[in-house]
Amino acid sequence: MRNLKSILLFVFCIGILACGTATVLQEHGLPMAAPEDVGVSAERLQEIAPTLQGYVDKGQLPGFLTVIARKGKIAHFETIGMRDVENKKPVEPDTIFRIYSMSKPITSVAVMVLYDEGRLQLDDPVEMYIPAFKDMKVYNKEQTETHAAKNKMTVKHLLTHTSGLTYGWGDKPIDKLYGELKIFKRGSGLAEMAEKLGDIPLVFEPGERWNYGVSTDVLGYLVEVVSDMPFEEFLQTKIFKPLGMVDTAFSVPQVKVERFAALYRPTEEGGLRLARNAPLANDDVSFFPSGGGGLVSTAADYLRFCQMLLNGGELDGVRILKSDTVELMRYPHHQYGKDGAFGLGFHVVTRKDDDKNKRSTGAYSWGGAAATTFWIDPEKELIGILMTQLMNNRYPFQGEFRKFTYQALLDAEK
């Protein structure tokens, strides 16, 4: 009798959780479907949770939220572990995460909205809009001398990370300059950021090669200049509100801070330490309006953004981009690495092989510093999203989540 009561209680709790998840997704995400109805094996999806739970049980990760959508419907939505370990608050369907560099695809879409409106061209020199980028200097290889740039930096260079800008994370002379000028100083704005960057030499001639850096942050300011409205206002007006992305912003209002996750780092012993507490109920949470890494979001919000792209720029009757523009964004514009290229805001898979457990050629993706990740696979009509909050990630769970997802596709067996 005791076992029966336990089973019934477990089923009741699962039902309550499912109802809460369904409510969140129906209001803000996409419709749910039985996995088999969209060509996904429910049985194989069950392999995801034990693997991710293992990291939580070992104290290596605080918690996860995973989403798989196919053919416009959600086949898998699962939460594991805690959004706030110290206060024993679980990850919930509407938990708000720092998405860091998953802001970059959103900023890139904002630029392409202006492109669709005919307000800028990809080959436009950046200095047309941001005078601080006139007469840029370029370091030599040793970073001991500079010379006048031979090529003008263009909008496309910024979108493809071939601008010559960097992040200043190393120990070279240019990294010291980035640190001294405090590019993302709290309380400053995008105009001040651009002025500072205009005074720093580039690490190579624009268009010469790929280098991850603050290119997308400059794009955020470019959007602000071209649109003649604050960058966040443009995002809200042109992307977030039309798509129903109700929790995506450069700030978290007090009425939502209870849902905001804490941020963690790994310890040398393999455990966790707090990098940043979850905010208190009366905290005012805001971030520098960094187009490259300042946004917060939820899985439901980001899923709507991804589905818009998978649909060719439209969702629920609202068009954000022209379909040809989405194709242009996911085209492999600049090859880097052995199996991929960079499009206009994303990594694009270019390799061709017969491994059915990997993303298809043409799939595009990106991730964030706190180990969040997403991918869109047009060939499979598939979206995968993983949310967590761990800086300096050293674990392979992102690849494991992708592998289990592709192994669960029923038509992959054909």
CATH superfamily of 21-95+251-286+298-413: DD-peptidase/beta-lactamase superfamily (3.40.710.10)
Question: Which pLDDT score, from 0 to 100, does residue 196 have?
Answer: 95
Segments making up each domain of the chain, as ranges: 21-95+251-286+298-413, 107-111+119-229
pLDDT for 183 equals 86
pTM (predicted TM-score): 0.92
Whole-number pLDDT of residue 77? 97
What pLDDT, in 10s, does the model give residues 172-215?
999 999 998 888 887 789 999 999 999 999 999 999 999 999 99
pLDDT tens for the chain, 414 residues long, are 444 443 344 344 445 445 555 555 556 679 999 999 999 999 999 999 999 999 999 999 999 999 999 999 999 999 999 999 999 999 999 999 999 999 999 999 999 999 999 999 999 999 999 999 999 999 999 999 999 999 999 999 999 999 999 999 988 999 999 998 888 887 789 999 999 999 999 999 999 999 999 999 999 999 999 999 999 999 999 999 999 999 999 999 999 999 999 999 999 999 999 998 877 666 778 899 999 999 999 999 999 999 999 999 999 999 999 999 999 999 999 998 777 899 999 999 998 666 766 899 999 999 999 999 999 999 999 999 999 999 999 999 999 999 999 999 998 654
Q: What is the 3-state secondary structure (H, E, C) of the chain?
A: CHHHHHHHHHHHHHHHHHHHHHHHHHHHCCCECCHHHHCECHHHHCCHHHHHHHHHHCCCCCEEEEEEEECCEEEEEEEEEEEECCCCEECCCCCEEECHHHHHHHHHHHHHHHHHCCCCCCCCEHHHCCHHHCCCEEECCCCCCEEECCCCCEHHHHHCCCCCCCCCCCCCHHHHHHHHHCCCCCCCCHHHHHHHHHCCCECCCCCCCCCCCCHHHHHHHHHHHHHCCCHHHHHHHHHHHHHCCCCCECEECHHHHHHECCEEEECCCCCEEEEECCCCCCCCEECCCCCCCCCEECHHHHHHHHHHHHCCCEECCEECCCHHHHHHHCCCCEEECCCEEECCCCEEECCCCCCCCCCCCCCEEEECCCCCEEEEECCCCEEEEEECCECCCCCCHHHHHHHHHHHCEHHHHC
**What pLDDT does residue 371 have?**
98
Which amino acid, one-letter code, is at 66?
T
CB atoms within 10 A of CB 170: 11
| pLDDT at position 366 | 98
User: pLDDT tens-digit profile of 76-120?
Assistant: 999 999 999 999 999 999 999 999 999 999 999 999 999 999 999
pLDDT at 24: 56
Which pLDDT value is given to residue 11? 40
Write down the pLDDT at residue 188.
Answer: 85
pLDDT given at position 356: 66
Give the model confidence (pLDDT) of 323-338 as tens digits: 999 999 999 999 987 7
